[in-house]
Amino acid sequence: MKKSITELEDKSLSPHPMGVSNELSFALYGAANRMMQLHKPFLKPLGLTFSQYLVMLELFAGTPRTVGDLGTRLNMETGTITPILKRLEIAGKVTRARDVEDERRVLINLTSAGEALRDDVLAISGQIRSACKLDQKGAMDLKDTLNDLAWPATH
């Protein structure tokens, strides 16, 4: 007996033991995408992408920073972080300069325009927590769980 399109669609929406809905990796992938989408309306007026936002957060923790240090802290390879830093430099938010003590290292500093974003950038985490309907404890618990997964005990 042939099944109608409606019957097939209804069945396709139900969880299947072999489907992606049962995969932790899919849940994390979806959550990561949702997180980036939640940030967009807050970042767009600041002229930042999500990756640039992460770099700026780390720079607000202290400068100057080496490219290598930023890459390690953000879990980004040099080939990933360098274009992000170049775009931030073009936008006038950071400077990149060779370390006079070791020319192999590139030091990143905030410009006055980058520093001017500090309050707005730092306010975003509270706005995201609110959008996710998480209180401070819920957000910290979730962050700790995800950090345990992302950064095993060796980190």
What secondary structure does DSSP assign to 116-139, as a single string?
A: TTHHHHHHHHHHHHHHTT--HHHH
Domains with residue ranges and CATH for the chain: 27-141 (1.10.10.10)
Q: 76-127: per-residue pLDDT in tens?
A: 998 999 999 999 999 999 999 998 988 889 999 999 999 999 999 999 988 8
pLDDT band at 10 (very low <50, low <70, confident <90, very high): low
Question: What's the predicted TM-score (pTM) here?
Answer: 0.79
Omega cis (within 30) before 64: yes
